[in-house]
Chain A
Amino acid sequence: MNNKIIASQALRQQYTKVEHPSGLTILLCPMEGFSTAYALFAAKIGSIDTTFKTQKEDDFVTVPAGIAHFLEHKMFESEDGDAFAKYAKTGASANAYTSFDRTAYLFSCTDNFRQSMQVLMELVTHPYFTQQTVEKEQGIIGQEIRMYDDSPDWRAMFNLLEALYQENPVRLDIAGTTESIAQIDADLLYRCYHTFYNLNNMVLAVAGNFDPKDVLELADEILKPGEDITIQWRKPEEPREVCTHLAEQSLPVSVPMFQIGFKGNAGNSLENLKKQVLCEILLEIICGESSPLYRELYDSGLINSTFSYEVLGGRDYLVSMYGGESRDPGQVYEKICLEVNHLRDEGIDPEAFERCRKAAYGRYIGMYCKSESVAGLMVLTHFSGMENMYDLLQLVQDLTLEDLNYCLLDDFSPEYSAVSIIHPVEQKDEAEG
């Protein structure tokens, strides 16, 4: 077993990276003084993994949209019962989630850590699917999809991704559609499981109040070395151009809601993780609360306090987004694009850069302070190919104005941008007369 200690002096923190003989990478960060332990067992499979093959297969297979999320729901069942019932005996609070590029099973607990860890390890290594249980889940996930159909935030974001991307599966809803999940059966679930849930394609990260010995002993006991499967993804042939600059939908909302997105020049996961840091700072400089443009939009009543920004980045996709409510989203979009063009021409104000970098530094420090976010950071940096989770903080510290100006030219172009608008139902009806 290969162990490596990774430390940060600035944060007075360290964690251990263990290469377990089973093929699994285990990341352990005990945190003094905390009561909770937070564990994340993650597989590198998300909603974008729709077309893939292994080294043993000749042809790529395309699976129905939403299968990674469906698999996540079904992993909670096994021949000897439901994982929630097993966690119930330990008191842990357990859950799971599926994102664009990963699926994670998690629990947090203050007592009985070892028992909960055993449940977690058994859960991800014991698939059990039958036609009957698959059909039952179609009803439950069908309602989850319905719930998101009514969520204007969610719809605004996916309409934006559909507008920005032509081929990349990031444009598909994570849970799929009622139609796509109807095509899922037990055999397909097993195929996905055996491809993606091999321990070489997974990581276990634990942070907070726990004894690393418990994790390693259980890993020796439960995790069996498997064949190292090489997964090949079909890289989407995504052009730089967007599908459309405007996406619209009507839903019962009070005032129009919007998401504005800039489609970045996406690279691999590691490049995109670094770019995410830069894009976040750029979003603040362009139209964050400390910017003159934010003030102008706010004071003219074009945006309100719901206005916010975020960056979405992973394998082959990178989007910098602004979202909120506005009576005139078109004008907000126009003004933001004008400001982007202005900054692209003039370069970034060095003072704004220093200020926003300092703010980002403070924000990033916050991520190393809770067991939940530390475990999340360990998974994120590992899957992105970053050796050390503290490199992310170092990246913020070492940023230069040149890096930022370069990113602005590379990843923020109004030509490759779009706005997604959710109109209030009544207003639209009236307008249609």
Chain B
Amino acid sequence: MNQKLNREQLAEGVFFSSVRDDKFRHNSISVNFIVPLEEETASCTAVIPFLLRRGSKSCPDFTRLEQALCNLYGAALSSDVTRSGEYQILSSSITFVDDQYTLNEEKISGQCAKLLGDMVLEPNITDGAFPQEDFQLERQNLIDTIEAEINEKRTYAINQCMALMNEGTPLAISKYGTVEQARKLTSQMAASRYAQIVDTARVEIMFVGCGDPTLAKEQFRQLWQKQQRHPRLYTPSPAVERASQVKEGKKEMEIAQSKMVLGFRTGSIQGRQERTAMKLMSALYGGTPFSRLFIHVREKLSLCYYCAARFDAATGIMMVDIGLEKDNKEQAKDEILRQLSLVSQGDFDGEELENTKLAYINSLKSVGDSLAAIESWYLMQILWYEQPASPEEDVEAVRAITREQVIKAAGQVTLDTVYFLTSKEDSHE
């Protein structure tokens, strides 16, 4: 595999990065506007990708746009909002078959890049507002999306734990903002927020695929040259290192299975070595089907179907979540904490560590086989680290981690919040 990251500045605060690999048959281009997640603007920012997706100045009709995409061999145009730590990311992308694989080698790459460019930089804004009907619909859709968070109980419980754990900080803010905020939005506010984002956001354009990125790069360069930009610098706050006391949250709902989420702080993590050690510790503790949590909580105690740990380097938070019978809550919690304590005491052997390294390395080496994984990998590297590393460089970092570093990482972990989503007391099961 020979996937080199090429990175170039197109305008003030606008970068174009590309990774080319001829084993693929598709290309994917994404434009990512990165802004700080702030309470006042979260909902207003979140409605924008959905408004952009309705159509651009050159193609304001949604149905005609969809029909054009069908004719481009089902090119997938999408626009959404995601988050990473304290950043809110407005992300628009197009994935399409490369020209070599169309019927009769029809050329479609240029048109696909143009559709994306028009969508993000030539939106359907007239007199400082998006079309009123589109706006009303998309605001309602945003409200529905926020309210639909309760539909998936596992994600809902994790988000609730995250919010309780980080009350009063940007990490507690949902990537979609709140219903109250969304209700107050107007079409003018959305258009003005859009202009502000184009002016001030950090912009990362990613091209991954088998095709030549030059054409797309030049198209985007031209589009951006029309903009006078004033990028706003933002430094996320440092992670909270330790929990002071354990917070507890609980909610009752008419559900069959209870969900428990434990949120942990992971101490002061400096540099790639320490970060990798924490990831490896988290995998050994609860990230594989031979991890502590899987073997002890699921297989030995038969308490659950899933019980897993995940460490997020962007927030310095490790989450453990489990779906269980409510009467088993204390037993499960005790075992989850006991296993963490055992890891921090060094109660694991060399083989366990080696096996976890193999699994981790396997996932790193798999990144290069998927357009989406490559794109997400490099976007996160660019966003969080001064020197973007390739997955292969991280493989070397994993190999170098010692047993002592894993023990030290586990020792830094403190329990901050326990959130419990459970069935109503009076409901029969």
Contact = CB atoms under 8 A, between A and B. Distances in A.
Given A252-B150, A362-B75, 16 more contacts: A35-B369, A82-B290, A84-B288, A88-B290, A88-B355, A89-B351, A94-B289, A110-B366, A139-B302, A143-B323, A252-B151, A252-B153, A290-B63, A291-B63, A292-B63, A358-B70
Interface string B319-351: 000011100000000000000000000000001
A85 B50 contact: no
B123 to A, nearest CB: 18
Nearest to B72: A362
Contacts of A362: 72-75, 96-97, 102
Nearest to A112: B358
Contact of B288 (A35, A88, A208, A284): A88
Contact of B25 (A136, A141, A365): A365
B55 to A, nearest CB: 11
Interface of B: 1, 21-26, 50, 62-63, 66-67, 69-75, 96-97, 101-103, 133, 137, 140-141, 144-145, 147-154, 253-257, 288-290, 294, 298-299, 302-306, 323-325, 351, 355, 358-359, 361-363, 365-366, 368-370
A90 interface: yes
Given A92-B362, A304-B141, A370 B103 contact: no
A359 B69 contact: yes
The dominant DSSP class at the A interface is mixed
A151 B257 CA distance: 10
Contact of A139 (B145, B303, B323): B303
A149 B256 contact: yes
Contacts of A143: 257, 303-305, 323-325
A194 interface: no
B362 A358 contact: no
Nearest to B395: A110
Among A84, A257, A290, A356, the one with the most B-chain Cβ atoms within 10 Å of its Cβ is A290
B70 A290 contact: yes
A370 B102 CA distance: 18
A140 B96 CA distance: 42
A121 interface: no
Contacts of A146: 256-257, 305, 323, 325
Interface in A354-385: 355-356, 358-363, 365-366, 368-371
A144 B305 contact: yes
B39 to A, nearest CB: 22
A344 to B, nearest CB: 22
A147 B305 contact: yes
A88 B359 contact: yes
Contacts of A306: 148
Interface of A: 10-11, 31-36, 82, 84-85, 87-94, 108-112, 136, 139-141, 143-144, 146-147, 149-153, 208, 251-255, 257, 284, 288-292, 294-295, 298-299, 301, 304-306, 325, 355-356, 358-363, 365-366, 368-371, 397, 425
Contacts of A149: 256-257
29 contacts: A11-B25, A11-B101, A35-B366, A35-B369, A82-B290, A84-B288, A85-B290, A88-B288, A93-B362, A108-B362, A110-B361, A140-B302, A146-B257, A146-B305, A150-B153, A252-B151, A254-B149, A288-B66, A290-B69, A294-B63, A325-B148, A355-B71, A361-B73, A362-B75, A362-B97, A365-B25, A366-B25, A369-B25, A370-B370
Contact of A359 (B74, B303, B363): B74
A15 B366 CA distance: 22
Contacts of B370: 370
Among A144, A289, A371, A425, the one with the most B-chain Cβ atoms within 10 Å of its Cβ is A289
